[in-house]
Amino acid sequence: MKARNNGIENREEKQFFLFISPWLLGFLIFTLYPMGYSIFLVFTDMDMTGSGQFVGLDNIVRAFTQDPLFYRSLLNTLYFVLVSVPASLLMSFLIALLLNQKIKGVGFFRTSFYIPYITSGVAVTLLWGWIFNAQFGFINYFLSLFGITGPNWLSDTKWAMPAIIIMGIWTIGNSIIITLAGLQDIPEALYESAEIDGASSLVKITQITLPLITPTLYFNLVMGIIGGFQIFMQPYILTEGGPSYSTYTYMMHIYNSGFKYNEMGYASTLAWLLFVVIMIITLIVNRTSRHWVYYDN
């Protein structure tokens, strides 16, 4: 009996590896190997054609001591993350609250809020360029109805990044859906009990909804931070990092270093430094989560 069970286990183990082998091969070839190679590149000055030599820690030293764009791009990206992530969390929470109502046509609204997430891309980014146009854009036209002269959004060093942030917040459909799922997971009985006790809507939100939604918010926060640090498409297409490097993000610096300036070694260094930064911030968030994330088990 034991031998027969071992035979079944062996067969199941082989089947397991057989079924995951396509993914495993893909992971090894297209993820793990390039990651390993890029660590090797950190210590070289290789270009795109693979020629170069070992330079030790020069790339890392260069990033911290000789490259003003390293700090500039990192600060720009931090600015984006520090504003867009909390704003996205707040907006997705509020909108999810609204979408959690049992009203007619809520499906239409849920779809409407999700569509920007799946339609975002180059074409939509270009459209946003038109919306932000200082002369003919919709936003400045709308502001002019209230007697406000809108700024020169994408050409003004003060307003270019806020414009990018606004574009980023527009695509929070995914966060909304995840938050909505979290809201629907909260037992109805808790609200009913609170209502019996005479709790107001505000009390219900702050004392029931918020504590129980914290795991979802924590997830959105971490994903938002990781995604925020990788912001690339919108500034690349709309402003190319300008004006005056005000929207020059860290990912753009990695891209330019690798593909424009032909410095693959340095670009790999920047990529791994970004990994470290994101890891540190995620660990900090994780550490603080024990104080504000409530798990009902």
Kindly list the residues in this chain that would bind other proteins in the complex (CB under 8 A).
45, 47-51, 66, 68, 129, 133-136, 152, 154-155, 157, 242-245, 256, 259-263
CB of 261 to other proteins, least distance (A): 4
CB of 230 to other proteins, least distance (A): 20
- 80 vs 159, which CB is nearer to other proteins? 159
Q: Is 44 helix (H, G, I), strand (E, B) or coil?
A: strand
- The single-letter code of the amino acid at 21 is S
CB of 290 to other proteins, least distance (A): 44
- 80 vs 248, which CB is nearer to other proteins? 248
- 171 vs 246, which CB is nearer to other proteins? 246
CB of 83 to other proteins, least distance (A): 23
CB of 224 to other proteins, least distance (A): 30
266 within 8 A of 206, measured Cβ to Cβ:
no
| Contacts (Cβ under 8 Å, ≥6 apart) of 290 | none
CB of 78 to other proteins, least distance (A): 21
- 14 vs 260, which CB is nearer to other proteins? 260
DSSP per-residue letters across 181-228 = HHHHTS-HHHHHHHHHTT--HHHHIIIIIHHHHHHHHHHHHHHHHHHH
The verdict on whether omega for the bond into residue 243 sits within 30 degrees of 0, i.e. cis, is: yes
- 45 vs 194, which CB is nearer to other proteins? 45
State how far the Cα of 61 lies from the Cα of 89, in Å rounded to an integer: 36
- 15 vs 262, which CB is nearer to other proteins? 262
| Contacts (Cβ under 8 Å, ≥6 apart) of 43 | 54, 55, 56, 57, 59, 265
**Two tokens, residue 123:** 């074409």
